[in-house]
Amino acid sequence: MGTDPDAAEAQLKPDAISFVDALVIGLASTSPAYTLAAIIGPVVALVGVNAPGVLLASFVPMLFIASAFHHLNRVDQDCGTTFSWVTRAMGPWSGWIGGWAIAMTGVLVIGSLADIAVRFGLLTLGLDDLAATNALVIPLTAVVIVAVTALCVLGTEISARFQNVLILAQVLSLLVFAIVAIARGVAGDSPLDPVTPSVSWLNPFAEGGAALTAGLLLGVFAFWGWESAVNLTEETRDSASAPGRAGIASTVVLLMTYLAVAYAVITFAGPAFLADNDEEGELIFALLGEQVLGGWDWLLLLSVATSALASTQTTIIPASRTGLSMARRAALPHRLAHIHPRYRTPDVSTWTVAAIAIAWYVLISLISENALFDSLTALSLLIAFYYSLTGIACAVYYRKQLLRSVSNLILIGLGPLVGAALLIYLLVLSVTDLNDPGASSSGVSWFGFGPPLVIGVGIFLIGIVFMIAWRLRDVRFWRERPGIAPDTEQV
């Protein structure tokens, strides 16, 4: 019996990438160098030398949710991940809004990442004045988004090879910086206020209370993005196992990277310097790079630029694959399900995500740079929502198997539920914090609320309106019914 060529063309290219490629993409999606540059100052300002401990504590819910992704992927290798799994476990309404949240995180962050890639690329070349010129940076950012989108469409293998180069440059730069910073800090060869490193810094509860909670919110953002490895499940060799393992492995590698760099910057600069400069954001690495590496500070600037560039590309992956998955199940317009006949990538969905991301970036940048930061802050709402939804879906889907073994109870039951509960707790706290206009980057009120809360809630409301409208137009997706894993299904 022959194979239908039309059916083959309608599928993503199987076995396009390996476990290592998926791991690299999972790492690149989190943009570790840029993320560290953006959060290390604020976290130290909150909890002092215990910043490594807060990052360690933030890792716990991420590991639990990564376990949920792994086990759900074993039974459903769908590039829509949360959308498909939540639909399977809890029904189409929950699945649709989960998919919407994933797609919108891409729209919110792609432009900001490309913006950082452009600015730090110019800083690396010593063009500091141009890096501060929005009239140049904004169009260059749009060009960067178009370029990396084209790479995504040209093929997953090309994207993976590009990511391998970028992650190597990024990790080597961070490694050189961390080693030199720790060595100089311990030797007392620092022009700042060096501190002797201590294991006690790994205690996240030293400060306690509101400081710990706020630090955890930043920590969750630091780990976000690793699931891009799982969104490529249909294109990865050993698709039932490798993508989930890559997701888990990437969170562990990220933890090691974050702890090493956190120890390095605190040892070299001391908590007072980092806290005093926390408003510098990602530019803190520009300051520290010169202090630590001298004339070689361009290495650290390059690591942030390549980090943001890599993440710009890989962040398109979850949004575009989720759009593809939703469209082919009639949850979105069918045109988004188109797959390029030659490159076997979701070209229409990918370009659509890029176009919306560019439009959002240009619009919000023209309002103000602070409004752009507020849109990034709103990400915490969407991230916590769809991660927690996935954790709950895992326990619900496997509920008949939870008591079959201790490992089942922990890995597919209690672990994902605890991770979801922690994220929901942080989600509620985020809503409270983001409601304060004075605490936002803009420092202004939108409709009586903080801009990040307005952006986050507004995206959910738009999604609900669109979901209801699409349900009235096409009922096919909403005929799907949730199920549970049979007792015989392998975990």
Quote the distance between the C-alpha of residue 445 and its chain's center. Answer: 27
Cα(311)–Cα(163) distance, rounded to whole angstroms?
9
Band (349; pLDDT cuts 50, 70, 90): very high
Residues 6+ apart with CB under 8 A from 104: 319, 382, 459, 463
DSSP 8-state secondary structure symbol assigned to residue 338: -
Position 47 pLDDT exceeds 50:
yes
CA angle, 357 then 359 then 360, to 5°? 65
If we measure between CA atoms, which residue out of 87, 41, 75 comes closest to residue 386? 87
Handedness of CA 37, 229, 395, 412 (dihedral sign): negative
Do residues 273 and 291 lie in contact, with contact meaning Cβ atoms separated by under 8 Å? no
Count Cα neighbours of 424 within 13 Å in the Cβ-side half-sphere: 11
Band (491; pLDDT cuts 50, 70, 90): low
Residue 69: what pLDDT? 95
Q: What is the average per-residue pLDDT within 282-301?
A: 74
Residue 308: what pLDDT? 86
Residue 389: what pLDDT? 96
Neighbours of 91 (CB within 10 A): 15
Mapped onto helix, strand or coil, the DSSP state of residue 236 is strand
Residue 2: what pLDDT? 40
Position 72 pLDDT exceeds 90:
yes
Residue 194: what pLDDT? 85
Mapped onto helix, strand or coil, the DSSP state of residue 277 is coil
Residue 486: what pLDDT? 59
pTM: 0.88
| Segment 424-445, tens digit of pLDDT | 988 887 777 777 776 666 667 7
% of the chain residues with pLDDT over 90: 37
Do residues 324 and 346 lie in contact, with contact meaning Cβ atoms separated by under 8 Å? yes
Position 490 pLDDT exceeds 80:
no
Band (157; pLDDT cuts 50, 70, 90): confident
Residues 6+ apart with CB under 8 A from 373: 281, 441, 442
Element of type H or E holding 56: helix 51-75
Q: Which two tokens stand for residue 415?
A: 């672990």
Band (7; pLDDT cuts 50, 70, 90): very low
Band (481; pLDDT cuts 50, 70, 90): confident
The listed CATH number (1.20.1740.10, 1.10.3470.10, 1.20.1290.10, 1.10.3130.10) that belongs to domain 15-478: 1.20.1740.10
Q: What is the mean pLDDT of the chain?
A: 85
Residue 449: what pLDDT? 79
Residues 6+ apart with CB under 8 A from 76: 84, 85, 88
| Segment 230-259, tens digit of pLDDT | 998 999 999 999 999 999 999 998 899 889
Band (138; pLDDT cuts 50, 70, 90): very high
Residue 193: what pLDDT? 83
Mapped onto helix, strand or coil, the DSSP state of residue 446 is strand
Cα(6)–Cα(248) distance, rounded to whole angstroms?
35
Q: Which two tokens stand for residue 267?
A: 């040892």
Q: What is the dihedral of CA 480, 481, 487, 491, to 10 degrees?
A: 50
Residue 415: what pLDDT? 93
| Segment 73-120, tens digit of pLDDT | 999 999 999 999 999 999 999 999 999 999 999 888 899 889 989 998
Residue 86: what pLDDT? 96
Neighbours of 469 (CB within 10 A): 9
Q: Which two tokens stand for residue 369?
A: 């740079």
Cα(434)–Cα(143) distance, rounded to whole angstroms?
32
Could you tell me the residue ranges of all domains in the chain?
A: 15-478
Q: What is the DSSP string of 176-193?
A: HHHHHHHHHHHTT--SS-
Neighbours of 432 (CB within 10 A): 9
